[in-house]
Amino acid sequence: MDQNKIPQATAKRLPLYYRFLNSLHQQGKNRVSSNELSDAVKVDSATIRRDFSYFGALGKKGYGYNVEYLLGFFRKTLDQDELTEVALVGVGNLGTAFLHYNFLKNNNTKIVMAFDADPDKTGTDMDGVPIYHIDDLEEKIGDVRVGILTVPSDEAQRITNRLSNYGMEGILNFTPARVTVPPGVRVHHIDLSIEIQALVYFLKHYPLNV
């Protein structure tokens, strides 16, 4: 189906569904109900049914969804067969944690190189990922089109400009700086303080009545 027709909110939940279905598949399970999925991924079952209807997966009453069919769809949609290489900029506290983690549960995304400004960190590698000096960004980055930004916030815009000029298509920005990018570059901001404030707000104003 035409992937552009999937709403963005649905598309964002696909990796979540994919991860859970993959583990079901590995356990040898052939089917799953929307309630089971809902419990596991913490998305309400009506939303799951609507999401799945976008890609033609209509659950059968008393049967649920076919795990194999869904996985096949997700693999294609999320390009699971294609490896996305990622560059990380800023090997400090957060960057180091990401390098150690390196999406190990997710075999389609991999940090393949990192950059830092500190000469004590560069020229080495961390869990097999080379760390280059930021001055060598343009020389080393090659075909990598996705970047993770974990530098101090006052460096974020400068690095974003360099990544964008080079042809980066997507940037996952963990700094609190709201960076601007030219058209054609997509930035997702992940700001932990905003997320925690939102959670606290929801706890206060929308308590779960269970």
Ligand X SMILES: NC(=O)c1ccc[n+]([C@@H]2O[C@H](COP(=O)([O-])OP(=O)(O)OC[C@H]3O[C@@H](n4cnc5c(N)ncnc54)[C@H](O)[C@@H]3O)[C@@H](O)[C@H]2O)c1
Q: Which residues are annotated as a binding site?
A: 90-95
Closer to ligand X by CB, 129 or 151: give it.
151
Q: Which residue has the tokens 């913490």?
A: 42
**Residue 40 sits in the site that holds ligand X (CB under 6 A):** no
Closer to ligand X by CB, 112 or 151: give it.
151
Residue of the chain from 93, 184, 208, 209 that contacts ligand X (CB under 6 A)? 93
Give me the residue whose beta carbon is nearest to ligand X.
92
**Residue 88 sits in the site that holds ligand X (CB under 6 A):** no
Q: Half-sphere exposure (CA, 13 Å, Cβ side) for 7?
A: 9
**Residue 157 sits in the site that holds ligand X (CB under 6 A):** no
What Cα–Cα distance (Å) separates residue 130 from each residue in 11, 15, 47, 88, 114?
32, 27, 41, 10, 6
- The burial of 64, by beta-carbon neighbours within 10 Å (0-12 exposed, 13-18 middle, 19 or more buried), is given as middle
**Binders of ligand X in range 171-210 (CB under 6 A):** 174-176, 192
Backbone angles phi and psi of 138, in degrees to 5: -65, -30
Question: What residue ranges bind ligand X (CB under 6 A)?
Answer: 89-95, 115-118, 134, 150-153, 155, 159, 174-176, 192
